[in-house]
Amino acid sequence: MLETVSSLISPPLPAVWPRFAQPLRLGVMASGNGSNLEAIAASIQRGDLHGEIRVVVYNNPGAKVADRAARLGLPTVLLNHRQYASREALDEAIVNTLDTYGVDWVVMAGWMRCVTTRLIEAFPGRVLNIHPSLLPSFPGIRAVDQALAAGVKLAGCTVHQVELAVDSGPVVMQAAVPVKSDDTVNTLQARIQQQEHQLYPAAIALAAQQKFSQAQRF
């Protein structure tokens, strides 16, 4: 009988997780639910991802991510974009907050705002995002709807370094899942999210490993 492939992660999840000179100092940015925050925190707690979450920045008052962060004992800072005159002004406040908490790696986990060069240049090559599609297909909002509407047979998620254009920048890791003929946006999204939770901690470790080995070569 043929075996059904339920997911494919590339590069593969680490057999042995890397240890760094000191735990990666992460700042998580989120707008809504926060399940990826929870998965990253769980990975750290298991002793897989060698990191610590210094702060969770969120922009929507009442977002579920704030409750999750509080339950995990993580500091939260609300930066409500509605109270800033421009994207740059918001990013200025974000950078100041991340600096205050000693963050080295910025992890966007469901951050639903466009970012500016102010943030990207403050953390060169150290701003990561997760997107629920196999980029460069289906950037932007409602990526899972877009994939279903296009009739693709494989969907998935991507962790990438953040550049100015939405959902662009070098890919760090991807996970692919099959699309089933009776999938709805909800069922497909759930299958993708399961993969996101495995992918993101591993991709953070890999991005850091790559960055440190690059630095040693120069």
Closer Cβ to ligand GRF, 130 or 177, answer by number:
130
What's the closest the beta carbon of residue 129 comes to ligand GRF, in angstroms? Answer: 7
What's the closest the beta carbon of residue 130 comes to ligand GRF, in angstroms? Answer: 4
Q: Which two tokens stand for residue 96?
A: 């100041």
Closer Cβ to ligand GRF, 3 or 34, answer by number:
34
Q: Which two tokens stand for residue 125?
A: 């090559």
d(CA 60, CA 57): 10
What's the closest the beta carbon of residue 37 comes to ligand GRF, in angstroms? Answer: 6
Catalytic member of 50, 131, 160, 197: 131
Closer Cβ to ligand GRF, 146 or 193, answer by number:
193
Binding site for ligand GRF (CB under 6 A): 30, 32-36, 109-110, 130-132, 157, 193, 196
The question of whether 81 is a catalytic residue gets the answer no
The C-alpha angle 51, 125, 58, rounded to 5 degrees, equals 60
Q: Are 163 and 152 in contact (CB under 8 A)?
A: no
Q: Which two tokens stand for residue 116?
A: 């500016």
DSSP state for residue 81 in the 8-state scheme: G
Residue numbers annotated as active site: 131
